[in-house]
């Protein structure tokens, strides 16, 4: 499949699966309008490790997207290179940052005047965090960021935007103590991240997905942008 020559249009009424030209070929994405009272923000939600079966259809990713949509935030989920219909090959996080750059540039072109939010689960949290200083999002949501798993978290310098971190205390993939130690060691931030520790919760939030939904909605509520005022005429 060849990447399209034209950029798709962000849907306004219902979710749509789109193909975006990317640095390694086509990027498959799903764009979904907000529910209820839309606000001036679009959140990009990044999925977990492709080599372990992670895709934009992961249950944690889709639940995070649901929580954001229900809060009035339009969302974009996309497959990193080599996953689903996205072309290219897995690149250990380097090329995946380029994929996120391309999606973010498209979102900002499609929705000028809207804040860009970045969210991610596990490997997706690493990719979004590692690009946050460059993209300067209005909000960060990091779910089980894989500190201590071989990714270079020491090089991450998140910007001073609001930042919600959700971590299960019974995570069998990401060491919760490594996450807590990394967060405590961050220097120079005016606003410390808001950490939500979820007891008896595994990496994939088995039987706790609704709790994750609530934690996201509660955590982002103070930072929601203004509602979009309908125009008449």
Contact 22, 84 (CB under 8 A): no
pLDDT tens sequence across 138-181: 999 999 999 999 899 999 988 999 999 999 999 999 999 999 99
> Which domain covers residue 147, as residue numbers?
16-222
Q: What CA dihedral angle connects 56, 60, 63 and 68, to 10 degrees? A: -80
Distance CA 138, CA 23 (A): 25
34 lies in some domain: yes
Pick the more confident residue, 232 or 165: 165
Return the percentage of the chain with pLDDT > 70, whole number: 96
Confidence of residue 3 (pLDDT cuts 50, 70, 90): very low
CB atoms within 10 A of CB 66: 18
Residue 44 has a pLDDT of 99
> Region 183-206: what's the mean pLDDT?
91
Q: Is residue 1 part of a domain?
A: no
* Residue 55 in domain: yes
Number of folded domains in the chain? 1
Provide the β-strand partners of residue 16.
31
Residue 226 has pLDDT above 50, yes or no: yes
| In a domain? residue 162 | yes
Residue 189 pLDDT class (50, 70, 90 cuts): confident
In a domain, 65, yes or no: yes
CATH of the domain at 28: 3.40.50.1820
232, pLDDT greater than 70: no
Query: What does the pLDDT look like over 93-115, one tens digit per residue?
Result: 999 999 999 999 999 999 999 99
d(CA 53, CA 28): 16
Q: At 125, give phi and psi (nearest 5°).
A: -65, -40
Q: Would 216 be classed as within a structural domain?
A: yes
């Amino acid at each position: 499949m060849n990447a399209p020559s034209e950029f798709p249009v962000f849907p306004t009424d219902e979710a749509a699966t789109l193909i975006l030209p990317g640095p390694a070929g086509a990027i498959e994405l799903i764009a979904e309008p907000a529910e209820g009272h839309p606000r001036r923000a679009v959140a990009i939600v990044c999925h977990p490790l492709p080599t372990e079966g992670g895709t934009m259809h992961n249950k944690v990713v889709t639940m995070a997207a649901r929580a954001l949509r229900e809060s009035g935030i339009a969302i974009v989920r996309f497959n990193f290179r080599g996953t689903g219909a996205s072309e290219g090959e897995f690149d250990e996080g380097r090329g995946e940052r380029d994929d996120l750059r391309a999606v973010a540039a498209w979102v900002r072109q499609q929705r000028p005047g809207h804040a860009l939010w970045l969210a991610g689960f596990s490997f997706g949290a690493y990719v979004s965090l590692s690009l946050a200083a460059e993209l300067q999002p209005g909000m960060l949501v990091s779910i089980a960021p894989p500190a201590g798993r071989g990714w270079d978290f020491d090089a991450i310098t998140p910007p001073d935007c609001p930042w919600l971190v959700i971590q299960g205390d019974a995570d069998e993939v990401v060491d919760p103590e490594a996450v807590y130690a990394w967060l405590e060691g961050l220097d120079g931030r005016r606003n410390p991240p808001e950490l939500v520790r979820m007891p008896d919760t595994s990496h994939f939030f088995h039987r706790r997905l609704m709790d994750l939904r609530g934690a996201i909605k509660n955590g982002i509520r103070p930072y929601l942008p203004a509602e979009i005022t309908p125009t008449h005429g």
